[in-house]
Amino acid sequence: MFQNNPLLEQLKKNLNKKTPRVEGIVKSTERGFGFLEVDTQKSYFIPPKNMKKVMHGDKITALLKIEKDREIIDPEKLIEPFLKRFVGKIQRKDNKLFIFPDYPFLKDLIIICYPKKNCNNLFQTGDWAVANLVQHKLNGNSIFCAELIEEIVKDNDPLTPWWVTLSRHNLEKKAPLIESQDILLKDNFKRKDLTNLDFITIDNVNTKDIDDALFIESTNNGDFCLTVAIADPTSYIEVGSRLDIIAAKRGFTNYLPGFNIPMLPRELSENICSLIPNERRPVLACSIIIKKDGHISNVVDFFLAWIISKEKLSYDDVSNWIEKKGLWKPSKKSIKNQISLLHKLCLSRIKWRKLNAVLFKDSLEYRFQFTEIGIVKNIIIEKRRIAHKIIEEAMIIANIVAANFLSKHLGFGIYNTHSGFDSINAENAVSFLKHYHLKFTAKEITTLKGFCNLRRVLNILSNNYINSRIRRYQSFGDFSTTPSPHFALGFSEYATWTSPIRKYSDMINHRLLKSIIKKEKIIKPNEEIKLKISEQRRRNRIAERDISDWLYTLFLQKKEYQNKKFSAEITDVSKSGIRAKILENGANVFIPALFLHPIREELILNQEIGKVFINGNLHYKVSDLIQIKLSEIRLKTRSIIAKPDYTI
């Protein structure tokens, strides 16, 4: 196709005058060659011999040459290396150390290591380490070299997935240390004594960092008076103190499969501040009147108090009692009354939100079960039950009124936001919906009212394919220091303050709420802290996903899964294949295009509409349930390859 090409001939003539240069990102392949991606529309071929000078992900400038009538790239200058600080696996040979970076497309790249002084004997084959790249071939060096800066974990340690992943994302591995002054109550403001009220907590059986307790009463006209009491770590942690700086840096308690790494010292989060039963605790509280139809009234009062939680209840026990299952029952009549009223409130709020806001669709959650040494022994499905919804509805009420309270008195805080659709994706969503005779306008669905109406229509329709496509057009959740709507929840403003033991943003809102109560000078949170919190949340979520992927590959290696047939839901379609989630255990798998149909020319994978066509006929689409078998478990890349199972 390149023969007698006049444009190519002209390019050759131009090259004789001056060799052109291009700038882009290196993309490598498993077959040794690569491409220089200049933009989303243009890329150039990098031959295997030239790929040896660079790494996948490097940003470079390069010479654009003609070789055998083909445009090729010859890397010239490194702008920004992909690898800087990285994790990898050590190989020791002839008293020399090498490290294999633990990244896709860099698995086989061997980098010579220079350990820090007196550290050479620390590292053995199979160990994991953190390293800094100190020498790159494009900088005039003949080899890639790295300096080993930290040992992560020894070879074959069962906790390798956790420690390597946390090191990769530069996340903390241990709880903060506590000092004697950290356990002193520093807030001497007068508090209401509510220790006589029957506050209860409902959590998982093993939860130790209990940050919310509830007390509810019924008014004479059938309305509800709900008091939400939240643990008060800011009474122990002053602004700018050592622990405050640590909490701001961590942002969140990091919940990982098997264990958590707390934002605050465990002595605070799981003891001194935790609302454990029969212990007097300082709280920030809010009393709210909710109408019997589920509407939240304007009668709201924030105050500081002392409470004693009377019982720690579990989600399963409370759910079983409400559903009339099992043998458990409340210990006394007053606790029974609390559960019954909370259940009644929950049902009224669910009904109200179904008509006026956005109601969540119940989804399955998966939990790893481990042996004592950290090896996965099973993966179980956990469903959201009625007790989960009771707590969820109570916390949503509390966060709505907190947002309103902050807006009314200050006009700022840390708000959780979701903007629905941007203008372009709104047009795309409207165009897509027309194919299913759903008539909306872009102007309509970019308003809070219109977005809520769309979500309610889709809930009634209950079409998983349409839902999945519309979700692709929606924006992501974010934080804002000024009041902004949360489209995905269906509220004009939303600010969380109910988990200050676990979230730094909630600690900030606690301080703002308390400053209003105390009539103190108030400083608006800066934009930088909002960005830091958002970035930390992103890193925590990626780390949790990466550890889960690693654990799934280890778990599914077992012989009993090699020929087992699984039901899976298609979650995405790409040019190279489809992705699916195994319903039994939640593992994400990839099905290459070759396994869908052997003749590539007869196969169309349309990522935009999430459908797969063979010879023009629709065979698969996102949300379809299919039968699969595992084909290959790739431990190096922590990926699971599957193939459709057509047997009956």
Decide if 203 is catalytic: yes
Cα 501–Cα 505–Cα 506 angle in degrees, nearest 5 = 50
Options 212, 232, 506, 546, the catalytic residue: 212
Residue 471: CA count within 13 A, CB half-sphere:
14
User: Distance of CA 269 to CAs 82, 272, 387, 488, 541, Å?
Assistant: 38, 7, 23, 30, 21
SS3 463: coil
Residue tagged active-site, from 44, 103, 236, 315: 315
Q: Which residue has the tokens 């620390």?
A: 122
Let me know if 478 is a catalytic residue. no
Active-site residue flag, 58 = no
Sorted by sequence, the CB contacts under 8 Å of residue 350 that are 6+ apart come out as 294, 359, 389, 393
Question: Which position among 127, 182, 211, 506 bears the catalytic label?
Answer: 211
Active site residue 193: no
Q: Is 211 a catalytic residue?
A: yes
CA distances (Å), origin 629, targets 458, 565, 580, 584, 614: 32, 5, 12, 13, 21
Return the amino acid letter for 37: E
- Which amino acid is present at 386? I
CB 508 within 8 A of CB 413: yes
Of the residues 250, 349, 469, 502, only one is catalytic, namely: 502
Residue from 58, 102, 198, 203 carrying the catalytic annotation: 203
Residues 6+ apart with CB under 8 A from 341: 216, 217, 218, 224
Instruction: Yes or no: say if 216 and 338 are a contact pair by the CB < 8 Å rule.
Output: yes
Select which of 102, 182, 209, 506 is catalytic: 209
Q: How many CB atoms lie within 10 A of CB 624?
A: 18
**CB 436 within 8 Å of CB 466:** yes
State phi, psi for 458 to the nearest 5 degrees. -65, -35
Residue 612 sits at φ, ψ, to 5 deg, of -120, 125
What's the CA gap between 23 and 18, in Å, rounded? 16
Largest CA distance in the chain: 93
Continuous H helices in 462-503: 464-473
- Report yes or no: 251 and 533 within 8 Å, Cβ to Cβ: yes
Cβ contacts of residue 113 below 8 Å, gap of 6+?
90, 97, 98, 99, 123, 131, 145, 146, 147, 148
The β-bridge partners of 369 are 378
Sign of CA dihedral 297, 302, 303, 305: positive
The residues annotated with a catalytic role in the active site are 203, 209, 211-212, 315, 502
